[in-house]
Every structure is written in structure tokens, then in C-alpha cells.
């Protein structure tokens, strides 16, 4: 077993003895996205994971209602935000990280492989030379195994590519924020057909996470209510995934998973907000710069995806 995973397991065991972080979730039904505030009760230091900026695609208008609910919670509990964490460059919602950073502070972080994503989509959207493709839109680029802290709570970043090249899982105390790598056990796994995605990498990333202790809490980025389930759910455990994930439970062969995921992805439509989301999120949640008339524009590349 490799060192970063060993470090994560040891951290989880220490956190179970020392006290778990508090995790509060906000679910945005229009984008099926869960945003989290995770915080240390002793120091009241916090991180915000995968925030949402409301976007009306038909009108081309943004709103901050979802982000304002997060701000109200942070201020109401007297928290100090140290980190704004993105698990990857989302294709289904716009990040509210710059707005939250302006209001609450904190460092904006993502995985270092965002540079690959910026290079691919910078070309697709013809972003021009003003768009730096070096990750500089973020304050911190995490590599696999990088350590950080939220108050007295230890945290570590694990690189889990497959859905996109840049996906990270954040292990914060004994809680893991998986991004789109996994969905609820009855729903399965995320697609792997975006540029830079890879179903075989996704399988191996999931197997890596499944080596964490069974009782480890997993907080997911999305839920879509599997058939027969009437409520949204976005928290599970490693053990539940290992035993019950309909796509990748123990015993599922890698080649069989790749074949299933590839054929399934071929039937899926692109996320309805992929074009605005990627243009914004590859910039760290910042909107494109205004043009000569003072208006910001998002592009629609034809036949490019």
C-alpha cells in the first residue's frame, strides 16, 4: 500500500480517537450538488467544499442565494474559513468560490492536474493568451499526499483521477469528500467520458478509496435519487460502497467495469450546464473578463465536445 494512502488511514484512526470534524451540508436541487462546510469545534476554523453559484442559463444571469446560505451558516456559527476546496473543475454547476472568498476569506485550492484541464478546455473555448493555463487562478494546487489542516484537524489530499484528470478526494479528519468519483451505492459511479477522463483510472481510484477503513464517512458531491428511492442522500461509508455499490462493489473485475462504464457513458447526454460551468470553473470560479462594451460573455463552441 502506498504512502499517501497509509497516511490517510493513519489520520482517520487518529481522528476517530481525537474527535471528528463537524460537517454541515447544503443541497442544491437544480444542479443536484452537495456543498459542505466542514469545521473544527475546538478552533472554529472551517473549509467550504464544492460551492454553487446559482445560474439561470436561459437568461444568462447569476445569483448568490445558495452561496449566501453558506455565508449565513458560517457567520452564524462564528467560523473562520481557512480553505475553499474544489474537488475538480465541475461540468454541472458554476463555483461560487470567488464570491465566498471575497466575503469570508480563505485559500482557494484544487488538484495540480487542473493545469491539464485548463490546457484542454482553453483550446476548446479559444480562451486566448489572457487566460493563464498554469493554475494561477487558484491559491494552492495540491499534489497527491499533500497535507494541510483546518484548525487542529489534519487533512490530506488524495488524487483520484478518472472522472476528470484533476479529481481529488479530501480526507479531513475521518471524513472524506469524494467529489464525483463515487455516487451513492444504489446509483453507482460517475461518467468518465469528458476530455481527459478514463474509466480504467476511475476504477483504480475507487479501489484506492475502498482501502480506507469501512466506517470512514464519505460525503458525495451529487445525488440523483436512484430508482425506487424518494429522497436525496449524499452521505455513506466506505464499507457500504465496498459491499453495495451497484457498479463497483468488491468482486467487480476492472475490465468488466471499464466495459460497463464505457457503454453507459455512450448513452449519456452532456450536462446541461457544461459549457458555462467549465468556462468559469477552469478560471477558479471567476467569470470571463468583460469585453469592450463592459459585458461578460460565455462562448458556445460548435462541434467541439
| Residue 18: per-residue pLDDT | 86
d(CA 5, CA 11): 10
Alpha helices in the chain (DSSP H): 3-18, 65-76, 97-104, 114-124, 199-209, 238-244, 254-265, 274-281
Beta bridge pairs of residue 17? none
| Residue 143: per-residue pLDDT | 97
| Residue 44: per-residue pLDDT | 98
Q: Is residue 76 classed exposed, middle or buried when 0-12, 13-18 and 19+ CB atoms within 10 A define those classes?
A: exposed
Q: What is the pTM of this model?
A: 0.95
Residue 237's pLDDT band (cuts 50, 70, 90): very high
Mean pLDDT of the chain: 95
Residue 7 has pLDDT above 60, yes or no: yes
Residue 305 has pLDDT above 70, yes or no: no
d(CA 292, CA 299): 16
Residue 209 has pLDDT above 90, yes or no: yes
Q: What is the pLDDT of residues 78-113, one digit of tens each?
A: 999 999 999 999 999 999 999 999 999 999 999 999
Q: Is residue 277 classed exposed, middle or buried when 0-12, 13-18 and 19+ CB atoms within 10 A define those classes?
A: buried
Q: Between 254-265 and 199-209, two packed helices, what is the crossing angle to 10 degrees?
A: 130
Q: What is the pLDDT of residues 174-196, one digit of tens each?
A: 999 999 999 999 999 999 999 89
| Residue 304: per-residue pLDDT | 73
Residue 1 has pLDDT above 60, yes or no: no
d(CA 36, CA 82): 14
DSSP structure class, residue 94? B
Contact 209, 219 (CB under 8 A): no
The H-or-E segment that residue 56 falls in is strand 54-56
| Residue 12: per-residue pLDDT | 97
| Residue 252: per-residue pLDDT | 97
Q: What is the pLDDT of residues 42-67, one digit of tens each?
A: 999 999 999 999 999 999 999 999 99
Mean pLDDT of 227-234: 95
| Residue 225: per-residue pLDDT | 95
Contact 219, 172 (CB under 8 A): no
Beta bridge pairs of residue 208? none
Q: What is the pLDDT of residues 253-274, one digit of tens each?
A: 999 999 999 999 999 999 999 9
d(CA 58, CA 33): 20
Spatial CA neighbour of 145 closest among 11, 1, 3, 4: 4
Q: What is the pLDDT of residues 126-146, one digit of tens each?
A: 876 677 888 889 999 999 999
Amino acid at each position: 500500500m502506498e504512502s499517501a494512502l497509509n497516511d490517510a488511514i493513519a489520520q482517520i484512526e487518529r481522528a476517530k480517537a481525537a474527535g471528528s470534524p463537524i460537517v454541515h451540508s447544503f443541497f442544491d436541487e437544480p444542479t443536484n450538488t452537495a456543498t459542505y462546510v466542514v469545521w473544527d469545534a475546538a478552533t472554529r476554523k472551517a473549509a467550504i467544499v464544492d460551492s454553487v453559484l446559482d445560474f439561470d442559463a436561459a437568461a444568462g444571469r447569476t445569483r448568490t442565494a445558495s452561496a449566501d446560505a453558506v455565508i449565513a451558516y458560517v457567520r452564524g456559527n462564528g467560523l473562520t474559513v481557512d480553505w475553499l476546496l474544489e474537488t475538480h473543475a465541475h461540468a454541472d454547476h458554476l463555483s461560487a468560490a470567488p464570491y465566498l472568498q471575497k466575503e469570508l476569506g480563505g485559500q482557494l485550492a484544487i488538484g495540480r492536474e487542473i493545469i491539464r484541464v485548463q490546457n484542454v478546455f482553453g483550446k476548446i473555448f479559444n480562451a486566448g493568451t489572457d487566460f493563464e493555463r498554469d493554475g494561477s487562478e487558484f491559491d494552492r494546487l495540491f499534489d497527491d499526499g499533500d497535507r494541510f489542516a483546518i484548525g487542529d484537524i489534519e487533512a490530506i489530499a488524495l488524487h483520484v483521477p478518472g472522472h476528470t484528470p484533476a479529481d481529488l478526494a479530501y480526507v479531513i479528519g475521518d471524513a472524506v469528500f469524494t467529489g464525483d468519483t463515487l455516487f451513492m451505492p444504489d446509483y453507482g459511479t460517475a461518467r468518465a467520458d469528458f476530455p481527459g477522463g478514463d474509466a480504467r483510472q476511475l476504477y483504480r481510484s475507487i479501489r484506492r478509496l475502498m482501502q480506507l477503513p469501512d466506517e470512514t464517512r464519505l460525503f458525495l458531491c451529487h445525488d440523483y435519487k436512484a430508482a425506487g428511492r424518494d429522497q436525496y442522500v449524499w452521505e455513506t461509508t466506505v464499507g457500504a460502497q465496498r459491499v453495495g455499490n451497484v457498479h463497483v462493489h468488491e468482486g467487480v473485475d476492472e475490465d468488466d467495469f471499464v466495459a460497463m462504464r464505457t457503454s453507459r457513458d455512450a448513452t449519456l447526454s452532456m450536462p446541461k450546464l457544461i459549457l458555462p460551468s467549465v468556462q468559469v470553473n477552469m478560471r477558479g470560479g471567476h467569470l470571463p473578463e468583460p469585453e469592450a462594451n463592459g459585458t461578460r460573455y460565455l462562448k458556445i463552441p460548435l462541434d467541439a465536445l
